[in-house]
Each structure stands twice: as structure tokens, then as C-alpha cells.
Amino acid sequence: MSTTLSVIGAGNMARAIIRGAIEGQVLLPSHIFVADPSEEARALFAELGCSVFEDASELPETTHCLLAVKPQIFPLVADAVNANIVYSIMAGIPISLIQSATGKQSVVRVMPNLPCQLGLGAAGLSCATEVSSDDASIAFDLFNSIGIVEEVDESLMDAVTAGSGPAYIFLLAEAMMKGAIDAGLSQDAASSLVRQTIRGAAEMLTVDKSTSAEEMRAAVTSKGGTTHAAIESMKESGVPEGIANGVIAARDRGVELGKS
């Protein structure tokens, strides 16, 4: 039986997932049905070759359903799920709640991050015990098409969200640019150099998985040199601890939101 997918919610993340699925030949556009009240959002999916609907209740029965709405919208669309396999990218909504609200037991919960829009996402994935190996495999195919996927216990999903935040890198870039400008560079030069530096460093981390981040940092930090001076100043200011503590704070906030 061919895999068909209904998608409830047509935001940026859903579009990135579906574009990746089509380009990666995981799904055919003719097998994808998308519902969203926004005419503009529907038009973007129609351009990809998907069938679009204004209301989720209009969606046909499919083998799989992707829930890509904001958590507060979920109670309004839960009854519209017309598939036995449910994939959810909703933040803070546990598998058990999705099961009880939709009446479907085979639920896969996934938390992707923003770079999935470039095919460079990082996602955590958790499966209900009722999910078959085939349906779990399809979920992996979907999200591997837009980045990487790590399977984790659902209890660690908030840690996944906290530990894969691109905003942390944006903050680092913001601070580096400010420092470069304060040191005398123009805004354009600072922006160009910092963006390329982060891109290059990220590529090194990606390509050389056998060398830890700590080892890479040590390799370019000559004692008494300029980088050493910068790292020591950052350590004195508590930068490493601040970042690590920030990840834990994000994890704790995710736990709180999940209980509300």
C-alpha cells in the first residue's frame, strides 16, 4: 500500500519537511494533502504539487498524518486526524495526549529545528510502543531528508529542544560582530567575516566527527596568542557556564510548558 500523508498546518516547518520529502523522493506530491486556513500558505504547497484544503475536516483518509500546528490549536483539529499513523512536530504535546485526543495509538513525536528549512536540521524523534518498524522508518526518512535525526526517549525531548537551538549560535554571532565593530571593523566587514567563520567552524565540526569540539578548540588556541587571550577572557566572564546553564534553563522551561 502506497504511503499517503495528510498535513494539518502549513507553516514554514511543515513546508520544509514536505519539500524535503518530495525532493528526497520519500513521497510523491500527489500523495500529500495539506490543510490550512491561510490561502497564502496553501498556495505554497499547491506549487509543490500537493492537494490543498482550507479546513482540516476536508482532508481525505490517508495512511499517515503530520500534525504541524501550534500546541494551542491542537484541540481544535484533533478530531480531523483521519490516519492511523500520526507524526507530530508540536512542541510540548506528549505522545499520550495525542493518543487520547485523536484516538490513534501509533504516534511518532519529532522536534526539528529551524535549519531544516535549508536541509540542515537537527531533530529528536520518539515513538510510541505501538509504532511499527516500517512506520518508524518512514518517519526517519522524512526527517533525514531535511537534516539528521536522533531517536531519544520521550522524557528527553525537552533536552533535545534545549540542546539544538540555533538562536544560541545567532547570539554568538551577534556578540562576535559587536566585538569586531568595537575593535574597529566596519559593520559590513564584521558581518561578512563572522558569518563565514561560523560557517567554516560548523563545517569542520560536521566533517571531522572523530575530533571533539574541545580538541578542535585547543588545536587553534596557542598559549599566549590572540585566541588564547580571547578564550581566557570569555572563561573569566563565565561564557561557557552561561551557555551550558542556558541549555538547562531551556530544558526546564520546556518541562513547565508541557505541564501547562
Mean local confidence (pLDDT), 111-129:
93
Q: What is the pLDDT of residues 61-114, one digit of tens each?
A: 999 999 999 989 999 999 999 999 999 999 889 999 999 999 999 999 999 998
pLDDT for residue 260:
65
Is residue 178 domain-shared with residue 74, that is, in the same domain?
Answer: no
- Could you tell me if 170 and 246 lie in one domain? yes
Q: Which residues pair with 149 in a beta bridge?
A: 123
Question: CA–CA separation, 51 vs 46, rounded Å?
Answer: 6
pLDDT at 1 over 90: no
- 246 in the same domain as 200: yes
Instruction: Count the domains in the chain.
Output: 2
Compute the mean pLDDT over every residue in the chain, rounded to the nearest whole number. Answer: 94
8 A C-beta contact, residue 160 and residue 124: yes
Q: Are residues 96 and 188 in the same domain?
A: no
Are 190 and 226 found together in one domain?
A: yes
- In whole angstroms, give the CA distance from residue 63 to residue 81: 11
Burial of 56 (0-12, 13-18, 19+ CB in 10 A): buried
Domain C-terminal end among 126, 145, 162: 162
Same domain for 46 and 149, yes or no, is: yes
Q: Are residues 20 and 85 in the same domain?
A: yes
- For strand 121-127 and strand 106-111, is the pairing parallel, antiparallel, or unpaired? antiparallel
- In this predicted structure, what is the pLDDT of residue 92? 84
Check whether residue 12 and residue 96 sit in a common domain.
yes
The last residue of a domain, from among 162, 182, 211: 162
CATH code assigned at 249: 1.10.3730.10
Helix (H) or strand (E) holding 126: strand 121-127
**Residue-wise pLDDT tens digits, 8-65:** 999 999 999 999 999 999 999 999 999 999 999 999 999 999 999 999 999 999 999 9
pLDDT tens digit sequence for 210-232: 999 999 999 999 999 999 999 99
pTM for the complete prediction?
0.85
Q: What is the pLDDT of residues 141-173, one digit of tens each?
A: 999 999 999 999 999 998 998 888 999 999 999
Q: Which domain holds residue 43?
A: 5-162
Residues 132 and 182 in one domain: no
**Band (237; pLDDT cuts 50, 70, 90):** very high
Last residue of a domain, one of 127, 162, 197: 162
Q: 147 with 177, same domain?
A: no
